[in-house]
Amino acid sequence: MKYRQLGRSALKVSELCLGTMNFGSRTSEKESFEILNAATSAGINLIDTANQYGGDSGVGTTETILGKWLAEDRSRRDKIILATKVHEPMSDDINDRGLSARHIQMACDASLRRLGVEHIDLYQMHHIDRLAPIEEIWQAMDQLISQGKITYVGSSNYPGWAIARANEKAIAKQRLGLITEQSLYNLIERRAELEVIPACREYGLGLIPWSPLAGGLLAGVRKANSGDVPGRRQSEGMQKVMKQRAAQLDSFDQLCSALGETPSVIALAWLLHQPVISATIIGPGNVEQLSSVLHVPDIRLDSEALAQIDEIFPPCGQAPEAYAW
């Protein structure tokens, strides 16, 4: 496993981040434990979750599973960088959501209880809350930091202007501010290149892409069309998108074959070649899926391969040059 700095912080994280959204919804507790054991054995030290994850099992289920795994061996906690999120609705209560100072504080305490830990390494705002003044948010985050409940603060699904606003407010108070942004970014969805990535570069945030395989579209169109692959790729909506992008996905499949790797591996490796990336999330549903991508950090794409990928999936450029002049 290879490691990078988490944004401009001095903290080192594995280039692959274990995403846990499947835990408790699509993946059983037993298999979740197996994935966690295999991932940490392979050197993955960044584990990402969210307080809302759990699917039909209920919000908080994923954090609870992680807490049970950590409780099996208390030494595990000090070896991992634990990241979770706050913002999404946790109940029908009108205030049990968003980024009010009250909810941030209560949600953090609830996450700590479910995880069975004393502190969270990276506490991320899951979405922007346009009703919450940034001063209120920093007040709550600063209090959690002073209490030793969280160490670093990150954003998720933030536009470039919100990253700039949040960090300018933090700079004015001589605070560290945001160190990461977790954003939708993959070969098919490259709009983060317009303003999010430039903002991350300017303010020293590490980007952690989510949905790196575009919901399975980049996992291999031939395999996905075989009819024996369960999950999202067999949904009506996904099949429609696959037909619309058939030529593009087939070209990518052919390139990956020429490179001697699967589309999943190349799509993940491509992200690690992009600027400001601290780690890319992988969300394996089983140990086999995890094992198939553990060598991604070892993949080196030369300039010719990167140019071919850009030809198949054109870049967006940067704002405002991409659309103003």
The residues carrying an active-site annotation are: 53
Pick from 146, 153, 191: which is nearest to 169 by CA?
153
In the chain, the amino acid numbered 275 is P
Give dist(CA 62, CA 124) in Å, integer: 16
Q: What is the largest CA-CA distance in the chain?
A: 57
DSSP 96: S
- 172 by DSSP, 3-state: which? helix
- 272 by DSSP, 3-state: which? helix
Answer yes or no: are the C-beta atoms of 185 and 207 closer than 8 Å: yes
For the chain, the C-alpha Rg in angstroms (whole number) is 19
Torsion angle of the four alpha carbons 307, 312, 316, 317, in this order, in degrees rounded to the nearest 10: 20
Pick from 23, 17, 69, 66: which is nearest to 43 by CA?
17
Give dist(CA 36, CA 27) in Å, integer: 12
**What does the buried/exposed string (b/e) look like for 187-206 if buried means 16 or more CB atoms within 10 Å of the residue's CB?**
bbbbebbbbbbbbbeebbbb
Contacts 24+ apart (CB under 8 A), 245-250: 245/188, 245/217, 246/221, 248/312, 248/313, 249/217, 249/218, 249/221, 250/221, 250/222
- Non-local (6+) Cβ contacts of 119 within 8 A are 112, 148, 149, 150, 151
Q: Token pair of 145, please?
A: 């930091």
CB atoms within 10 A of CB 98: 21
